[in-house]
Chain A
């Protein structure tokens, strides 16, 4: 039970990264980006290329992949989403679905369907209060927590973070407060790219690298973001932890294959009873 809950926490903190990316992008650009799964896959393979193929240490490969993914996201936005910006959320969402297929299949084309793994040394897991924790899990918790704290500092303490929240809150007021939205949008994509790259590498460490690795998490990630309240960074983190722990615990009573039903159930329940999510603001259409 404790072991299952711990595994759930690890899954939760992994999902918190893409869930935060989803919520940041939704807040600023007002559309659900379904390409986040495939973006994680591409970033994970970028890190794999540097780590397993060029022999870089995984930490350095991850940092390089995160920066590259951030830049790639800005480029993808310019090519794919910017021309469609005025067409509304549905158009952008469909575009993101198409983009997801393309990115995932680029990864498949390059590396095939075989599962691969990073070049990391195996270490003996250690035990604490009957819970078995392996090295990768500890690294996962540390990296994800650090990323969350860094994002919190950025969003609340730095001018660009405040500007991102301002644009998410009220785009036209942000304009007349002197905030150039294209710059805010570029930063949002960059940060989302970094978060997705970290998420992709952590998933690759936790499981294995294969083309559908990112999209397998898509429902859980959206479940987490919706549960927490789309547009709320704190909500994304809490939502991810709840979904992670509850999904894992559910395997004690239902067949593990059905645990994907938990985030779906969470989405359904939250949309019926509290559409703005746990920490979100009611959506005001103007």
Chain B
């Protein structure tokens, strides 16, 4: 299978030091890759660097064979990367409908052409039309996550980057989020997902990367990682008790 994303020797960070110290990873087209690792390991920094919010200090990022280095975040959106931050992932003062409109107007690869097209979002997120007139800041945590998710898909991305989509959600909502992630993936979108909730995430993933100290410590199939007792105890924290 060809790779949709190829990251080579990526360095990035804030201030003086690097947080990512030479990250290499590949994501097979059409698959889900979960990134796990302890707090401060550079997971969110990696997501922000891929999305173009943080410049890469060294190394390369390629999407579908095309280098993204030097492209700002809006240009990367047009290139096919869509990123859902962990927090503040909707425009809180804008209504649900306005959030969706903005995503449709600005994320589409061909602007106006994408606007009229039926992107099937209402079908995938049937709960959203009920809340169209509500300010997104007044939604519950689960609803907000779904809205963020829907907006991120408006431009029909090639690669969706999710930073802890289940953070702060109840177990039922978490399951629902992962179910949607799976459905989106089945529609042909490759997904890079950062998750604390490693067990649930790995169950729907094909591959897994363990990040620690800004470096890739392990890279394996999701099934393999789920079976590794020692890795679990080191990197999955409390979740390891459940295996």
Q: Write out the residue numbers on chain B whose beta carbons fall within 8 Å of the beta carbon of A162.
A: 94, 98, 101-102, 105
Contact at A179–B88, with CB atoms within 8 Å?
no
Q: Write out the residue numbers on chain A whose beta carbons fall within 8 Å of the beta carbon of B91.
A: 165-166, 169-170, 173-174
Contact at A176–B102, with CB atoms within 8 Å?
no
Say whether A83 faces chain B, with CB atoms less than 8 Å apart: no
Contact at A176–B53, with CB atoms within 8 Å?
yes
Interface string of A128-172 (1 = CB under 8 A from B): 000000000000000000000000000010010011011011101
Q: Write out the residue numbers on chain A whose beta carbons fall within 8 Å of the beta carbon of B74.
A: 175-176, 178-180
Q: Write out the residue numbers on chain A whose beta carbons fall within 8 Å of the beta carbon of B94.
A: 162, 165-166, 169
Known: A176-B53, A176-B73. A169 touches B106 (CB 8 A): no
In the complex, the chain B residue whose C-beta lies closest to that of A181 is B74
Contact at B106–A159, with CB atoms within 8 Å?
yes
Q: Write out the residue numbers on chain B whose beta carbons fall within 8 Å of the beta carbon of A165.
A: 91, 93-94, 98
Q: How far, in Å, is B85 (CB) from chain A's closest CB? A: 7
Known: A162-B101, A178-B77, A180-B74. A173 touches B106 (CB 8 A): no
Contact at B53–A175, with CB atoms within 8 Å?
yes
Q: How far, in Å, is A232 (CB) from chain B's closest CB? A: 9
The number of chain A residues with a CB under 8 A from chain B is 20
Q: How far, in Å, is A177 (CB) from chain B's closest CB? A: 6
Q: Write out the residue numbers on chain A whose beta carbons fall within 8 Å of the beta carbon of B88.
A: 170, 173, 286
Instruction: For B107, give its contact among A168, A169, A177, A180 (CB under 8 Å).
Output: A177
Q: How far is A180 from B107 in the complex, measured between Cα atoms in Å?
A: 11
Say whether A281 faces chain B, with CB atoms less than 8 Å apart: yes
Q: Write out the residue numbers on chain B whose beta carbons fall within 8 Å of the beta carbon of A175.
A: 52-53, 72-74
Q: How far is A170 from B151 in the complex, measured between Cα atoms in Å?
A: 15
Q: How far, in Å, is A183 (CB) from chain B's closest CB? A: 9
The number of chain B residues with a CB under 8 A from chain A is 28
Contact at B78–A178, with CB atoms within 8 Å?
yes
Say whether B103 faces chain A, with CB atoms less than 8 Å apart: yes
Known: A159-B105, A166-B91, A178-B77. A173 touches B98 (CB 8 A): no
Q: How far is A3 from B67 in the complex, measured between Cα atoms in Å?
A: 68
Contact at B85–A176, with CB atoms within 8 Å?
yes
Q: How far is A60 from B226 in the complex, measured between Cα atoms in Å?
A: 73
Known: A170-B88, A177-B107. A281 touches B93 (CB 8 A): yes
Say whether B89 faces chain A, with CB atoms less than 8 Å apart: yes
Q: How far, in Å, is A154 (CB) from chain B's closest CB? A: 14
Q: Write out the residue numbers on chain B whose beta carbons fall within 8 Å of the beta carbon of A168.
A: 93
Q: How far is A286 from B86 in the complex, measured between Cα atoms in Å?
A: 13
Q: Write out the residue numbers on chain A whose beta carbons fall within 8 Å of the beta carbon of B155.
A: 178
Scoring B92, B102, B155 by chain A CB atoms within 10 A of each residue's CB, the highest score goes to: B102
Q: How far is A225 from B10 in the complex, measured between Cα atoms in Å?
A: 45
Q: How far, in Å, is A91 (CB) from chain B's closest CB? A: 19
Interface string of B57-79 (1 = CB under 8 A from A): 00000000000000011100110
Contact at A178–B93, with CB atoms within 8 Å?
no
Q: Write out the residue numbers on chain A whose beta carbons fall within 8 Å of the beta carbon of B53.
A: 172, 175-176
Q: How far is A271 from B5 in the complex, measured between Cα atoms in Å?
A: 50
Say whether B51 faces chain A, with CB atoms less than 8 Å apart: yes
Q: Write out the residue numbers on chain B whose beta carbons fall within 8 Å of the beta carbon of A173.
A: 85, 88-91
Known: A170-B88, A286-B88. A176 touches B83 (CB 8 A): yes
Contact at B92–A177, with CB atoms within 8 Å?
no
A-B contact pairs, 29 of them (CB 8 A): A159-B101, A159-B105, A162-B94, A162-B101, A162-B105, A163-B102, A165-B93, A165-B98, A166-B91, A166-B94, A166-B102, A168-B93, A169-B93, A169-B94, A170-B92, A173-B88, A173-B89, A173-B90, A174-B91, A175-B53, A175-B73, A176-B73, A176-B83, A176-B85, A178-B74, A178-B103, A179-B74, A179-B102, A180-B74
Other than A170-B91, A178-B103, A179-B102, give 13 A-B pairs with Cβ distance below 8 A: A156-B98, A165-B93, A169-B92, A170-B92, A172-B85, A173-B85, A173-B88, A175-B72, A177-B103, A179-B74, A179-B106, A281-B92, A281-B93
- Lowest 10 A-B CB distances belong to which pairs? A178-B106, A175-B73, A178-B77, A178-B107, A169-B91, A159-B105, A176-B83, A178-B74, A180-B74, A169-B93
